[in-house]
Amino acid sequence: MSAKMAAAAFLLAFFASQQLLARADVVTVSEARQLREEVRDMFYHAFDGYMQHAFPRDELRPLTCQGEDTLGGYALTLIDSLDTLALLGDRERFGSAVEWIGENVRFDINKTVSVFETTIRVLGGLLSAHLIASDYSTGMKIQNYDDELLHLAEDLARRMLPAFETPTGIPFGSVNLLQGVDEHESQITSTAGGGTLTLEFGVLSRLTNNPIFEQVTKNAVRGIWARRSKINLVGAHINVFSGEWTQKDAGIGTSIDSFYEYLLKAYLLFGDDEYLFMFQEAYKAAMHYLYHDPWYVEVNMNSAVTVWPLFNSLQAFWPGLQVLYGDIAPAIRTHAAFFSVWKRYGFTPEGFNLASFSIQSGQRSYPLRPELIESTYWLFKATRDFRYLDAGRDMVASIQYGARCPCGYCHIADVESHKQDDHMESFFLAETVKYLWLLFDLAAGPDNIVENGPYKYIFNTESHLLPATAEIALANEHCSYLGAFCRDGGERDAFTGISSSYQEANDTRITDSWMSSSSPSEAENSFTTSSFIKGFCPTLTHDQKFGFSYTADKHGTHNVEPANQHQSHSAIMISESLVINSAAIDKSYTGQYPENPHREEIEKNSSDEKDSQLVREQIQT
């Protein structure tokens, strides 16, 4: 079994690298311009289809040309499309959409909504559009705009605050916008659901001078992080009252993905190094226990035993995140592997089993997800390697050929038969098309506010643009685009604020020499560390961390205690038993892909009987 899986993984990786080596028909700059125009047309086919057939319902049913309410019934797709309209330079539609939303959208409605989805799509959409519409330097300022979207965003966030009233600080998954949390609301939420709120709520706090939004969401992240396992992994689902993990599979995809994303991005946007500290620890553990070059698997968060040898399509954002962190070499390899799955079917299925080398049963669909395109964009931005444009061209072709339908773009129900499904998630316009357009515009010009604009932009997980303005970010006090800027001494000025041009400041190009470094830690060693707080590249070692101490109580739970903010050395305390346990797991974990040869032994000693059962069932599947 193990040999078969290793052989399959090898073949797939080989297949992937061969495909990327075959560069016969490279996208030229003029073709990139054409592709950019084709993507613009894709946007309008879907956007106009939504406006004509579905607006003001939430989402479009693009096969039957109707609308459906999928979130709160407040024109979700229009809100999610706002900053894409601005990015495309469509002043007219952007202006009238902002005006309509300001006049018509209200959140005092008796609807129970997902805190996560409402935050990333609606709050994120409103805030990014507000920041564009209210600022001359974006080139899209709307005359007579009077902060209507900011007021709506604040009202919406206030209505979600009751969700955070839990003993752990981790919010309920859903909240009623009029009445607070329903009496029978589930106490179980996902890690991504509780840990992907900091960017939007943090921006809101900084724009309204009301710290409550930032506080509750940071508290939620601390609540999750404090319950990480002894080997620094988090599970997929947690009880927000008891703090017990109810689903202990750790991974970088489904139910967890954007928890990692927001740790790094909250640091990049706000300059709060507590997030960086958490990210570094979490990232290190993910690369140690989940990464089987070039794939990622899911493991039990306590024992590190592989439970799911599976690529799931949500994992595909990870190489993009690695670019932001500066860990480029593994990002390139993983992207190539993930793209090989796309090439095989024309789309990525929701799940692809790495053991059987086939689509995971019940996970055959492609609901127009952006993640692989997102990583393609970031890798092109970092490397300027035209193979990423080739990949983008392939993706456009697949979507045009397989997903275009009468009134928009359809989900693909089955990536083998390419049967279409009558749905178009709002993230198709917020993210999928946006990343494609950014990719080709970057190759063609570029001519957009992300690349040339007055600020660096951090993308929320729905791809909404959050600018690192002086009001939002602590300018010059942290290293934005951490890895991407830290490898080249010549570019260091870019993030200390002395950059010579905006374009340069937003440029994440890497030089060949960067490629030879396989991890940020290697690069870190070559920099002086003392000036971090003044704005040099972060090179924090554990000894330089301050702010929080992490201790384990007798249950193995990590408690977070505010430490003296002024102390200059770390206050990281790890109990002896914790060190011993981690070492034991480390030793037995050989990293052999995809099964741990000591699995049975670990399972026997593990108290997680139910998990072991799950492992067996899933491996048999």
Q: Which residue is nearest to ligand DMJ (CB)?
A: 461
CA distance 283 to 279: 6
**Among residues 157 and 372, whose Cβ is nearest to ligand DMJ?**
372
Q: Which is nearer to ligand DMJ, 125 or 370 (CB)?
A: 370
* Beta-ladder partners of 238: 189, 245
Which residues, at least 6 apart from 412, have a Cβ–Cβ distance to it below 8 Å? 347, 365, 366, 367, 368, 402, 403, 418, 419, 420, 421
Q: Is 369 in the site for ligand DMJ (CB under 6 A)?
A: yes
Q: Are strands 245-247 and 237-239 parallel, antiparallel or unpaired?
A: antiparallel
Taking the complex as a whole, how short is the minimal distance between the CB of residue 344 and ligand DMJ, in angstroms?
20
Q: Which is nearer to ligand DMJ, 255 or 353 (CB)?
A: 255
Site membership for ligand DMJ, residue 375 (CB under 6 A): no
The footprint of ligand DMJ on this chain (CB under 6 A) covers a number of residues equal to 10
Closer of 314 and 429 to ligand DMJ (Cβ): 314
370 binds ligand DMJ (CB under 6 A): yes
Q: Does 524 bind ligand DMJ (CB under 6 A)?
A: no
Q: What binding mask, one character per residue, do residues 264-303 give for ligand DMJ by CB under 6 A, x or -?
A: ----------------------------------------
378 touching ligand DMJ, by CB under 6 A: no
Pairing between strand 548-552 and 419-421?
A: unpaired
Q: Where are the beta strands (DSSP E) in 201-312?
A: 237-239, 245-247, 249-250, 291-292, 295-296, 298-300, 306-308, 310-312
Minimum distance of ligand DMJ from residue 284's CB (angstroms): 22
Within 8 A by CB and 6+ apart from 446, the residues are 438, 452
Ligand-binding annotation for 461, yes or no, is yes
Which range, of 50-58, 366-374, 475-483, 580-588, touches ligand DMJ by CB under 6 A? 366-374
Residue 261 or residue 603: which is nearer to ligand DMJ going by CB? Answer: 261
Q: Is 462 in the site for ligand DMJ (CB under 6 A)?
A: yes
Whichever of 277 and 427 has its CB closer to ligand DMJ, that residue is 427
Q: Which of 253, 231, 227 is nearest to 241 (CA)?
A: 227
The distance of closest approach from Cβ of residue 170 to ligand DMJ in the complex, given in angstroms and rounded to an integer, is 18
Q: Which stretch binds ligand DMJ (CB under 6 A): 319-327, 365-373, 445-453, 581-589?
A: 365-373
Task: Find where tokens 């900084």 sit.
Answer: 206
- The site string for ligand DMJ over 84-123 (x = CB under 6 A, - otherwise) reads ------------------------------------x---
Across the strands, what pairs with 404?
409
Contact 445, 476 (CB under 8 A): no
Adjacent-strand bridge partners of 615:
none
Instruction: Print the binding letters for residues 408-427 with ligand DMJ: x by CB under 6 A, - otherwise.
Output: -------------------x
- Min CB(299)–ligand DMJ separation in Å: 21
What one-letter code names the amino acid at 328? Answer: I
- 466 with 127: CB under 8 angstroms? yes
Instruction: Give the shortest CB-342-to-ligand DMJ separation in angstroms.
Output: 14
Whole-angstrom Cα Rg for the chain: 23
Query: What minimum distance in Å lies between the beta carbon of 113 and ligand DMJ?
Result: 14
461 binds ligand DMJ (CB under 6 A): yes
* 570 makes contact with ligand DMJ (CB under 6 A): no
> Judged by CB under 6 A, which of 189, 190, 254, 258 binds ligand DMJ?
258
Q: What angle do CA 480, 283, 316 make, to 5 degrees?
A: 85
Catalytic positions, written as ranges: 117, 257, 350, 371
User: How many CB atoms neighbour CB 256 within 10 A?
Assistant: 32
CB of 368 to ligand DMJ, least distance (A): 8
Classify strands 174-176 and 188-190 as parallel, antiparallel or unpaired: unpaired
Residue recorded with tokens 């972060």: 538
Secondary structure (DSSP) of 44-112: HHHHHHHHHHTTTSSEEETTTTEEE--SSSS-HHHHHHHHHHHHTT-HHHHHHHHHHHHHH----S--E
Which residue, 258 or 499, is less far from ligand DMJ as judged by CB?
Answer: 258
Please enumerate, by residue number, every residue annotated as part of a binding site for Ca(2+).
461
Q: Which residues bind ligand DMJ (CB under 6 A)?
A: 120, 258, 314, 369-371, 427, 431, 461-462
